[in-house]
Amino acid sequence: MALQRVIWHSTLLCIVQVCSMPTKCKLQRRLVETCYHLLETMGGTFPLQCLEDNVLVTFPTGVFKSSTRQQTTATEKSIYTTLKYIDSMFDTDRVPDQWAAQEKLDHFQHIIFRLIEENRCIMGKTQESLDDFISREASLRAYFDKIATVLKEKGFQYCAWEFVRNEILRALQFILKEDFHSMWPRRDPGTKHESLK
């Protein structure tokens, strides 16, 4: 009986130690890829009946560009901010019934939330010039405000949600296509990366 207690306490201490270890403040690329693929398959291709309702909103691609260390920090913060905006877009019970797989949406939302929670430390990183991030954040805010406006103006209808899904896929695609050596943890050489369109 005493041996079981010792084993139990040792196991518990190991678990507590592992859970309290600090994070490395690195986004997990595979989770972002999973979000992309879940969202992509959630509703299929963009419906033809929604083409008339499609609105042109240009994604601010410059928010993910970096060539200096300060810009890398601003880029990381921009990606984190993008994930927060994505989370807020789906923070509603008005998603369309046509998206057949509710479990895919739930899984997508769970992963986005996990990415946000696990990477709060990104926003605490310091950089020499805050102006760079502030301008990126303003571009992202304007972009997501336009998307939210379209969704509201179209009464949260199916085609409006397809527009939102399409735009968020585009944002995730820009994140995944950039080569962020300092952000993504090193991949296992044996791991194959699914290419994006």
Contact 102, 42 (CB under 8 A): no
Mean local confidence (pLDDT), 23-35: 84
The CATH code of the domain that includes 127 is 1.20.1250.10
Q: Report the mean per-residue pLDDT for the chain.
A: 79
120 assigned to some structural domain: yes
Q: How many percent of the chain have pLDDT more than 70?
A: 74
Mean local confidence (pLDDT), 91-113: 82
191 assigned to some structural domain: no
Mean local confidence (pLDDT), 72-86: 91
17 assigned to some structural domain: no
Total number of domains constituting the chain: 1
In angstroms, the CA 167 to CA 34 distance is: 17
Phi, psi of 24 (to 5 degrees): -85, 0
Helix pair 29-43, 102-118: axis angle to 10 deg? 160
183 assigned to some structural domain: no
2 assigned to some structural domain: no
For residue 84, give its domain range.
Answer: 25-177
Q: Report the pLDDT value the prediction gives residue 181, as an integer from 0 to 100.
A: 52
Q: Report the pLDDT value the prediction gives residue 81, as an integer from 0 to 100.
A: 95
Q: Report the pLDDT value the prediction gives residue 15, as an integer from 0 to 100.
A: 52
User: pLDDT confidence of 113, banded at 50, 70, 90?
Assistant: very high
User: pLDDT confidence of 53, banded at 50, 70, 90?
Assistant: confident
186 assigned to some structural domain: no
Query: Model-level pTM?
Result: 0.77
97 assigned to some structural domain: yes
137 assigned to some structural domain: yes
Nearest Cα to Cα of residue 40 among 50, 32, 48? 32
Token pair for residue 127? 């950089």
Q: Please state which of the ranges 15-19, 46-50, 93-97, 181-185 shows the lowest mean pLDDT.
A: 15-19
User: pLDDT confidence of 8, banded at 50, 70, 90?
Assistant: very low
Contact 91, 21 (CB under 8 A): no
